[in-house]
Chains A and B, each alone.
Chain A
């Protein structure tokens, strides 16, 4: 399947990838883009590849990650080497001692070091055909395009966090090489997942532990996993061919420490579970209820594999906060897949080019105009200030003279009558220095989006509180009252719950896609109660 998507190196013009998903309304475009198609195709392709061909023990064992039968080509071993080299930089940059809130600021140094060496490393470790492809006059080199995805794969230096958006970026890096002919279809799949991608996952775990990277946009116990998703897809695929009750460990055995210890070296699912057990203290069913529930799936690993892919499509690729920083260039193209059309009335989004942005998922509120990575943008400081979204304390009560005020006003103004576009109050003078460097003022930076920090899930105009287990977000502008859907709309729409500030996938699936949730907004509810 990879062949039709292949890109001819000699004639292709590479482009500097750019962030193009700027709000929730861009998501439908993304979901029909060539980039999305490519990602989904490759996930499917690798999942199929690591699924045993038969239900017998031999087939199953042939898909163990440590199986001696897996042939590692030069191209794949080079990726493993690349990751080992990047991983060794951790030893050069020990975590900073001393008080800190959570994430270790030394990670920024690590990240900067990797970035500074990245081109050189790619030249050394990527296939020569790719390395030697020069840039066309109106484009960039292949390495420069790929580099963005590689660097996006190691978490956010700014926020000191890591999540599935970063994982996606690295996966795209591997896919990009594949598309450019760097790997051989039909031969390199197993090694790429079990050696290269596994090496990546282990590197990430080391990073998380060394620099206490936070889970990006953590849902706490109500997410699938704090950091990862793809190992659950590939790991369940490894066991998906064997009928329940035969051979490989049953899904329910994820709670048995001994089984996890035995399997984590050869199965990506168990490796991920093992890492959770390494970092979390407490009963597994309590700190990871989602995985615990899934372990009871009727239909065993095959069902889990299918469910994980559905969930990935909805909760990672379908989530604005997760994919908003995925950059689009020539390999991962923003163009629509032929034969697909956007719904009528849908704005053409390719007309909104923005600053290029590094990979990584956003964990800040999407409506905010702070660039995700200040080092990679040229926007003027004012765009980072919330000038465009004036702080509208527009509560009418505030306009009352202060002198008369003790306690709440006797008559509350109607809660929903909030004049919009209130002028910026005179007493707000954002410190220009800090607003341009936020969120890293000094060494005590708030690590945003992770365990420690909740970010606002509402977005600029269209994102809104689009949760509630329904279709995509209802439009709503900053300064307006949050728009709680009074009823469910768009049941089963692919984009269910856009939230910002987050990457980690996974809410309880009982809500996912299509479960009808009806409720009224609080105001009406109150009135009803009053009656």
Chain B
């Protein structure tokens, strides 16, 4: 077992690794990250995750639900640190996995991956408390500067293979009905399929029709676990055999842009993101800042963000951006969603939130988004650059979606919803390091 594997093992047990080892791993991580593009190309299948915020035990739950790394290909959209008690363990574990399996996990930068933000919202304090010095915090911050700003998922299938249900007549019927083309599947708590929507369904999914009461844990009778058929670890690749169906314009879900916050008025194309000089602290404004700070909102055009950084952007902005860039979906994180995920603007953008019961008190569930691969369209599978410049094809698809009767052109997507991990056996620390004021 290599040192790295040992470190991973130790971190999986939520035990910090020695400072020197952190230094070494951060150094290696930087060497890997420096080679990555501002917008990293990621092949489907991939499982997309939102904010973690140091909720280590919930991150373990995420891996349990979504499959382990490297079995599952992961994409984390930033905000690994701050607010939670285990930012250090969470981030270092993800970083070790990145170093160990660079092609199986993608980490992009969130607004909390910043020196300034971490000194305010907890990660700095946590490092001081756990190591007695700021060294580890500094090593981590140096890694933050190298994280990609976004990712482009290509080769996602237009449908997910419906998760088969053991019995459950109603559900079974629903599956059959939607069998040809399941665009959206929601696997609720306990692995229960709570929703399957075929591409032909006109409705759009959002929190309006997926309120917490629709989640099994909140209703009285839930057949928890009984119907779980998705195999963790292969979740994202549920669509293992390509489904070809004449009813659909094409069998590709198109490209999905993943970014922590959202769009920027200074960025009208994905290519422009590639021009940014990202290897720096997150600036207070400008395109790089906006990508990490902005939020979608029910407005027209751009609005001022009440956060004081980034902007608000409306449906028209998203649709135009997606159209111009041949995207079928933007996946982002950055905002707490009680239901774990929320699609907006006719499913042109989705917020994914992966920190359940945020801050120990919000009572929200978390979600991850699985994009299956598309086996039927080799062109789009053959590499990032190619798809980027294979505009003819994707633009045609995009216009079909946007102009035609098709309301949604998004990739097939499976949301797995999960709750906070049980907190039974977490030992109490014996030491109480005394805060300055009380010395």
B431 to chain A, nearest CB (A): 8
Would B279 and A412 count as touching, CB distance under 8 A?
yes
Q: Which of B226-256 contact A (CB under 8 A)?
A: none
CB distance from B419 to the nearest CB of A (A): 11
Rounded to whole angstroms, the CA-CA distance of A456 and B295 in the bound complex is 14
Q: Give the CA-CA distance A370 to B303 in the complex, in Å.
A: 12
Please give, as numbers and ranges, the residues of chain A lying within 8 Å of B272 by CB-CB distance: 398, 402, 405
A304 adjacent to chain B (CB < 8 Å): yes
The listed residue with most A CB atoms (<10 A of its CB), out of B290, B311, B314, is B311
Q: Please, which residues of chain B bring their CB within 8 A of the CB of A281?
A: 357, 360-361, 420, 423
**Which residues 45-86 of B have a CB within 8 angstroms of A?**
53-54, 82-85
Residues 80 to 125 of chain A near chain B (Cβ within 8 Å): 98-102
Contact A219 B265 (CB under 8 A): no
- Complex Cα distance A159/B357, Å? 20
Q: How far is the CA of A471 from the CA of B334 in the complex (A)?
A: 30
**What 1/0 flags go to B273-293 for Cβ under 8 Å of A?**
011111111111111101001
Q: Is the pair A394, B286 in contact by a Cβ cutoff of 8 Å? A: yes
Return the CB mask of A439-474 against B: 1 if under 8 Å, else 0. 101101010100111111110000001011100000
Instruction: Report whether A364 and B120 are in contact in the complex, using a CB–CB cutoff of 8 Å.
Output: no
Would you list which residues of chain B between 383 and 439 have a CB under 8 Å from chain A? Answer: 385, 388, 420, 423, 426, 428-429, 432-439
A382-408 CB contact bits vs B (8 Å, 1 = yes)?
Answer: 001110010111111110101001111
State how many residues of chain A have any CB contact under 8 Å with chain B. 124
B308 pairs with A501, CB closer than 8 A: yes
Q: Which residues of B contact A220 (CB under 8 A)?
A: 53-54, 82-84, 121-122, 359
10 nearest A-B residue pairs (beta carbon)? A365-B308, A509-B435, A220-B83, A439-B306, A296-B432, A222-B122, A307-B438, A434-B303, A509-B436, A415-B280
- B120 to A467, Cβ gap below 8 A? yes
B128 touching A508 by the CB < 8 A rule?
yes
| CB within 8 Å for A509 and B437 given contacts A219-B122, A405-B275 | yes
Tell whether A285 is near chain B: CB-to-CB under 8 Å. Answer: yes
How far is the CB of B360 from the nearest CB of chain A, in Å?
A: 4
When the two chains form the complex, which single residue of A102, A314, A405, A433 contacts B338, counting CB atoms closer than 8 Å? A102
| Selected contact of B359 from candidates A218, A314, A370, A389, CB within 8 Å | A218
With contacts A221-B85, A294-B438 known, is A500 near B308, CB below 8 A? yes
In the complex, what distance in Å separates the CA atom of A365 from the CA atom of B134? 26
Residues of chain B within 8 A (CB-CB) of A389 are 285
Q: At the interface, yes or no: B345 with Cβ under 8 Å from chain A?
A: no
The answer to whether A71 has its CB under 8 Å from any CB of chain B is: no
Inter-chain contact B436/A364, CB cutoff 8 Å: no
Proximity string of chain A (194-226) to chain B, C-beta cutoff 8 Å, 1 when within and 0 when not: 000000000000000000000100111110001
Task: Indicate if the CB atoms of B307 and A453 lie closer than 8 Å.
Answer: yes
Contact A519 B306 (CB under 8 A): no
> Which of B's residues lie within 8 Å of A, judged by CB?
27, 37-38, 53-54, 82-85, 111-112, 115-117, 119-122, 124-126, 128-129, 134, 138, 141-142, 145, 207-208, 211, 264-266, 268-269, 271-272, 274-288, 290, 293, 295, 297-309, 311-312, 314, 335-339, 357-362, 385, 388, 420, 423, 426, 428-429, 432-439
Contacts of B337 in A (CB 8 A): 101
Query: Given A290-B435, A297-B438, A510-B433, A99 and B305 touching (CB < 8 A)?
Result: no
Q: Interface 1/0s, chain A 351-372, versus B by CB < 8 A?
A: 0000000000000111110100
**Do B119 and A458 have beta carbons less than 8 Å apart?**
no
Query: Across the interface, do A438 and B306 meet the contact criterion of CB distance under 8 Å?
Result: yes
CA distance A518 to B142 in the complex (A): 15
Residues of A within 8 A of B302 (CB): 428-431, 434
Bound together, the chains give a CA A394 to CA B283 distance in angstroms of 10
Q: Do the beta carbons of A478 and B284 come within 8 Å of each other?
A: yes
List of A residues within 8 angstroms of B311 by Cβ? 430
Check if B286 sits within 8 Å of A406, measured CB to CB: no
B286 pairs with A392, CB closer than 8 A: yes
Q: Is the CB of B284 within 8 A of A287?
A: no
CB of A502 within 8 Å of the partner chain:
yes
Nearest-CB distance from A82 to chain B (Å)?
29
Inter-chain contact A408/B298, CB cutoff 8 Å: no
Given contacts A407-B274, A430-B301, 18 further A-B contacts (CB under 8 A): A102-B336, A311-B437, A389-B285, A396-B277, A398-B287, A405-B275, A430-B302, A431-B300, A439-B304, A446-B335, A457-B117, A482-B115, A482-B284, A508-B129, A509-B436, A509-B439, A510-B125, A526-B142
Question: What is the chain A residue whose CB lies nearest that of B306?
Answer: A439
A/B pair count, beta carbons within 8 Å: 356
Rounded to whole Å, the gap between the CB of B403 and the closest CB of chain A is 24
A509 touches B265 (CB 8 A): no
Provide the bound-state CA to CA distance between A415 and B282, in Å. 11
Known contacts A279-B361, A427-B266: does B293 contact A441 (CB below 8 Å)? no
How far does the Cβ of A154 sit from chain B's closest Cβ, in whole Å? Answer: 19
Give chain A's interface residues, CB within 8 Å of chain B: 98-102, 159, 215, 218-222, 226, 255, 279-283, 285-287, 289-290, 292-298, 303-304, 307-308, 310-311, 314, 364-368, 370, 384-386, 389, 391-398, 400, 402, 405-409, 412-413, 415-416, 418, 425, 427-431, 433-435, 438-439, 441-442, 444, 446, 448, 451-458, 465, 467-469, 478-479, 481-482, 484, 497, 499-502, 507-515, 517-519, 521-523, 525-526, 529
Within the complex, the shortest CB–CB distance from B306 to chain A, in Å, comes to 3
Contact of B358 among A308, A412, A452 (CB under 8 A): A452
Cα separation A511 to B120 with both chains bound (whole Å): 11
Name the residue of chain A whose CB is nearest to the CB of B111: A454
Give Cα distance in the complex from A499 to B115, angstroms: 13
The answer to whether B304 and A100 touch across the interface, beta carbons within 8 angstroms, is no
Q: How far is the CA of A280 from the CA of B338 in the complex (A)?
A: 16
Complexed CA–CA distance, A283 and B425 (Å): 10
Q: Nearest Cβ in chain A — how far from B169, in angstroms? A: 29
Nearest chain A CB to B192 CB, angstrom units: 21
Bound: A400/B272 CA distance, A: 10
B121 cross-chain contacts in A, Cβ below 8 A: 219-220, 222, 454
27 cross-chain CB contacts under 8 A: A218-B83, A221-B84, A279-B361, A287-B360, A290-B435, A293-B435, A294-B432, A307-B435, A391-B286, A393-B288, A396-B277, A408-B275, A418-B283, A434-B303, A434-B312, A438-B303, A441-B299, A456-B293, A465-B119, A468-B124, A469-B119, A481-B280, A507-B122, A511-B124, A512-B437, A525-B142, A526-B142
User: Is B277 touching A430 in the complex (CB atoms < 8 A)?
Assistant: no
Docked Cα-Cα span, A418 to B281, in Å, equals: 12
Whether the pair A522, B142 counts as a contact (CB closer than 8 A) is yes
Chain B residues with Cβ below 8 Å from A453 are 307, 335-336
Neighbouring B residues of A425 by C-beta, 8 Å: 265-266
**How many angstroms between the C-alpha atoms of A281 and B426 in the bound complex?**
13
Given known contacts A101-B336, A407-B274, A511 and B125 CB-to-CB distance under 8 angstroms: yes
Whole-angstrom distance between the Cβ of B248 and the nearest chain A Cβ = 30
**Cβ-defined contact, A522 with B360, below 8 A:** no
Residues of B within 8 A of A468 (CB): 119, 124
A-side contacts of B428, CB under 8 Å: 255, 283, 285
Partner of A406, one of B122, B271, B423: B271
> Nearest-CB distance from A421 to chain B (Å)?
12
**Docked CA distance A496–B439 (Å):** 18
Is B297 a contact partner of A523 (Cβ separation < 8 A)? no
Known contacts: A293-B435, A308-B437. The answer to whether A438 contacts B361 by CB under 8 A is no
How near does chain A come to B289, taking the closest CB pair, in angstroms? 9
Contact B287 A393 (CB under 8 A): yes
Asked if B436 contacts A515 (CB within 8 A), the reply is: yes
Chain A residues within an 8 Å CB radius of B111: 454
